[in-house]
Amino acid sequence: MDPAQQVREMIAKLQDKVEELTRIVNSTLSKVPGFLDWIVDKLIDGWNALMEKLGEFWDWFTDKLSYVGNPFGLFAASTSWREDVGGVAKNLVRDIDDSDLLVDDRWQGDGADQYRQSLAPQREALGSIGADFATSIATALTILAGGIIAFWTGVVGAIIAVIVGFATATGAAVTVFGLPLAPPAALGGLAIGVGALAGGTAILYGVSALSRSTLAGAASGVQTWPQFVTE
């Protein structure tokens, strides 16, 4: 499933929970007798704090869904680098090592001797394309794809935590004396959710840095290509 779509569905469920809590609170408020005004006052203070934190939670999503990332595309690209680039280079190295080239048997003379001297650099260059360049790039793409999945998994977990908090708050709000307990219950879920968002973001930043470092490491392969390639 598209990570963004899954998050949107979870957000819709959370919005339903927020609306349900609001209805229950309003319904129970209408039953509070005058001599229990302190319950109303305490509820109002907690409710204002809850709405402030909930607003901050919604604000976090303002621009996040516009650049979801495509982990499945990254996985596909990683496979392509391993197989279509690294795999082809590996096969060419094997062909050279196994003396499968026609010139090994049919070409004689000084030209053939000069060519045979270039085989080792060719093998080194082709081996590096597979082992250093293709593998490093494929690994970096796989790492980044995993980081994106971990990030959105954390986001979904954050929303679930908030939903649970609001469901608990709704259960408390059905009674007059439970009204003051409703905002703290929902705030507890929000606190867990915000922590999950922060954790997911930290993971994504860390994985992105590791992926970038792995890509940079691809340059550690062959530094000097065979002379006939550069002439």
Q: How does DSSP classify residue 180? A: G
Per-position pLDDT tens, the chain of length 231: 567 778 889 999 999 999 999 999 999 999 999 888 999 999 999 999 999 999 999 988 887 777 778 888 999 999 998 888 877 777 777 766 545 555 555 656 566 566 666 666 677 777 777 777 888 889 999 999 999 988 988 999 999 999 999 999 999 999 999 999 999 999 999 999 999 999 989 999 999 999 988 888 776 655 556 655 555
Report how far residue 186's alpha carbon sits from residue 121's, in angstroms, rounded to the nearest whole number: 66
Report how far residue 28's alpha carbon sits from residue 8's, in angstroms, rounded to the nearest whole number: 30
210 CB-side CA count, 13 A? 15
On whether residue 12 sits in a domain, the answer given is yes
- pLDDT of the residue at 223: 56
Report pTM.
Answer: 0.77
Report the domain count for the chain: 1
- pLDDT of the residue at 27: 94
On whether residue 107 sits in a domain, the answer given is yes
Domain that holds residue 56: 3-223
On whether residue 230 sits in a domain, the answer given is no
- pLDDT of the residue at 195: 92
On whether residue 231 sits in a domain, the answer given is no
Q: How far is CA 116 from CA 46, 76, 100, 109, 197, in A?
A: 82, 37, 13, 11, 59
On whether residue 62 sits in a domain, the answer given is yes
**What tokens does 177 get?**
């004396």
On whether residue 15 sits in a domain, the answer given is yes
- pLDDT of the residue at 92: 74
- pLDDT of the residue at 167: 96
Q: What is the CA radius of gyration of the chain?
A: 30
DSSP 180-210: GGHHHHHHHHHHHHHHHHHHHHHHHHHHHHH
- pLDDT of the residue at 49: 95
On whether residue 201 sits in a domain, the answer given is yes
